[in-house]
Structure 1
Amino acid sequence: MTQINQQKLRETLVNLEKYAKGQDCGDFFVRTAKKAELDHAGQIIKAEKPARTPKQYKFTETIELQVGLKNYDPKKDPRFNAALVLPNLPKTNTRILVLADANDVNRCQAEKIEYVPFDTLASTYDKTKPGPIKRWAKKYDIILCSKSQIKNIVKVLGPTLTKINRQPLPLEPTDNLKNKVDEMLRTIRIQFKKVLGLNWPVGQVSDKPEDVQRNVMMAINTLVDNLKKGWQNIKVVYIHSTMGPSKRIF
C-alpha cells in the first residue's frame, strides 16, 4: 500500500510547473534568505544570499524523483536491476541508435530512426582502441542491435560497450520498430548498486500533472516491491525539476 500523499504530490507537480514558468508559488517552496557571515570584527566573510525566486529558462525542464534509502546495506543486501516501462514519456532528449543489418537499415530509414549499418563498424572502429568507441557510444542513451548481429558485437567492437554500460539490446526482426523505440523511450531502470540515493526522470514540467503522477507512483511502487523490507527501507522521497527547487513528499 502506498504511503505517498497523493494530494501533496499533485500540488508539488502543479507548483513545479508554475515555478518553471516564472510564476509566484507563494510559500509552497520555502527557502529563506541566508544571512551574511561575519568574522569576530564584524567584517563580512560571506555575503547575504537572497531567497530563491521563480525563473523561466529557455528549455523544458525534466522532473526527477529522488529516493533515499535506510537500513539497506549495499554490501550484504540484494541488488536489483529491473526495467520499467512507464505509461508516459519521462524525458524528451533520449537518443537511440540501431546497429542495423541490411533488413533493419530499410526499416530504420522508413521510420526515420538513427542507425549505423552493422557491416560498417569493423572498418570504422578498431576494437583494440576503446577510446573512439567510448566517445561514439556515449552520445547515445540506448543502443539496439539487429538480432542477427547481436552475437558479433564483441567480435567487432570488443568489450567496450559493456564496460561503459551501453550493451546493445536485441532488436527482433518481428518487432514493430516504431513501437520498440517508443517502449525504449518510456523505459527507466529501477536499480540498486552501491549508493543509498536513487533518482529517475519521471516527466517534463510541461506535462500534465496527472501523467507525471502516474509515472512517479509506478516508479516508487516498483522500487518498494524490490526492497527487502518495502516501505521500511524508504527514508525520504523528493520531487524536483532541473533548475527548480525540491519538495519532500515522504
Structure 2
Amino acid sequence: MSKLQSDVLREAITQVVTEAKEKNRKFTETVELQIGLKNYDPQKDKRFSGSVKLPHVPRPKMKVCMLGDAQHVEEAEKMGLDYMDIESLKKMNKNKKLVKKLAKKYHAFLASEAVIKQIPRLLGPGLNKAGKFPALVSHQESLEAKVNETKAMVKFQLKKVLCMGVAVGNCEMEEKQIFQNTQLSVNFLVSLLKKNWQNVRVLYLKTSMGKPVRIY
C-alpha cells in the first residue's frame, strides 16, 4: 500500500514548478525526487540497486553515447547521437583518467554485441565503477527506441549514505506526467527496501535550483 498521498504530491509538484517558472531561468530545470532512508545499515544490510522505466522521459537532453560496431556507428551518425567505435576505444588504452572523463561526460552508454564483450579489455573497470556499464543493443531492435528507453530509465542505488536523488521530470512537462513518474519511482524504490515504507524517513521534490518541498 502506497503511503504517498496524491493530493500532497500534486500540491508539491505545482509549487516547485510554479516557483521555477517565476524565476525564469535560462535552462529547463529538472525535477528531482530526493530520498532519505532510515533503519538501514549500508555496512550490514544488502545494498540494493534497481532500475525502472518511467512512463515519461524526465531528461530529454540526457547525454547518451553509443559504443558501436560499424552498423551502429552509421545509425548513430544519422540520428545525431554521439558514438565511439572500437578504434577510439582502443586508443584509450585502459587509461583510468580518460575512462573516468568519458564516464563523466555521459549519463548513459549503449553498446553493440560485438563491442560490449571487449569493454573490460579495452577500458578496464572504469564504466562499471561509475555505475554506467553500457546497455546492450542488438541489430534486431531500433536504436532510436533504445535511446528513448534509456532516457526514461532511473536507477536507484544505495551506496554508503542513506540519501539519494533521481530525476523524475522537468519543468516543461505537464504536471500530470511528473505526478505519474514520481508515483512510479517512489513505489518502485519502496519495493526494493527491506522493510518497505518503514525504511523511508523522508521524501522531497525539488527543481535544480529550487527549494525542496516535503512530500512524505
Structure 1 match to 2:64? 96
Structure 1 match to 2:138? 172
Q: Which amino acid aligns with 1:110?
A: K
Structure 1 length-normalised TM: 0.81
Structure 1 residue 187 displacement after superposition: 0.4
- Pair 1:19 & 2:19 matched: yes
Structure 1 match to 2:92? 125
Residue 27 of structure 2 aligns to a residue whose secondary structure is: coil
Structure 1 residue 105 displacement after superposition: 1.7
Structure 2 length-normalised TM: 0.93
Structure 1 residue 175 displacement after superposition: 1.7
| Structure 1 Cα separation of the partners of residues 156 and 98 of structure 2 | 30
| Structure 1 Cα separation of the partners of residues 204 and 88 of structure 2 | 45
Q: 1 or 2 for the larger relative contact order (CA 8 Å, sep ≥6)?
A: 2
Q: Of Structure 1 and Structure 2, which has the larger fraction of its residues in helix?
A: 2
Q: 1:156 aligns with which of 119, 122, 127?
A: 122
| Structure 1 Cα separation of the partners of residues 153 and 42 of structure 2 | 24
Q: Which runs of 5+ in 2 are unaligned?
A: none
Structure 1 residue 174 displacement after superposition: 1.2
Residue 8 of structure 1 aligns to a residue whose secondary structure is: helix
Conserved? CA contact 1:4–1:249, under 8 Å: yes
Structure 2 match to 1:25? none
1:77-88 map, 5 Å: 77-88=45-56
Conserved? CA contact 1:62–1:241, under 8 Å: yes
1:1-250 map, 5 Å: 1-22=1-22, 55-122=23-90, 124-127=91-94, 129-250=95-216
Structure 1 residue 222 displacement after superposition: 0.6
| Structure 1 Cα separation of the partners of residues 92 and 102 of structure 2 | 10
Distance 1:169 1:205, change over 3 A: same
Structure 1 residue 191 displacement after superposition: 2.1
Q: Which amino acid aligns with 1:57?
A: R
Task: Judge which range, 159-168 or 146-155, deviates more.
Answer: 159-168
Q: Which amino acid aligns with 1:136?
A: L
Q: Alignment identity in percent? A: 37
CA deviation map 1:71-130 (0-9, x unaligned): 1111222221111100011123311011111121222223332211223322x3222x32
Residue 138 of structure 1 aligns to a residue whose secondary structure is: helix
| Structure 2 Cα separation of the partners of residues 120 and 145 of structure 1 | 14
| Structure 1 Cα separation of the partners of residues 163 and 130 of structure 2 | 21
Larger Rg: 1
Which ranges of 4 or more aligned residues in structure 1 deviate by more than 4 Å?
none
Structure 1 residue 167 displacement after superposition: 2.0
CA-based RMSD: 1.5
| Structure 1 Cα separation of the partners of residues 179 and 154 of structure 2 | 15
Structure 1 residue 144 displacement after superposition: 1.2
| Structure 1 Cα separation of the partners of residues 124 and 36 of structure 2 | 36
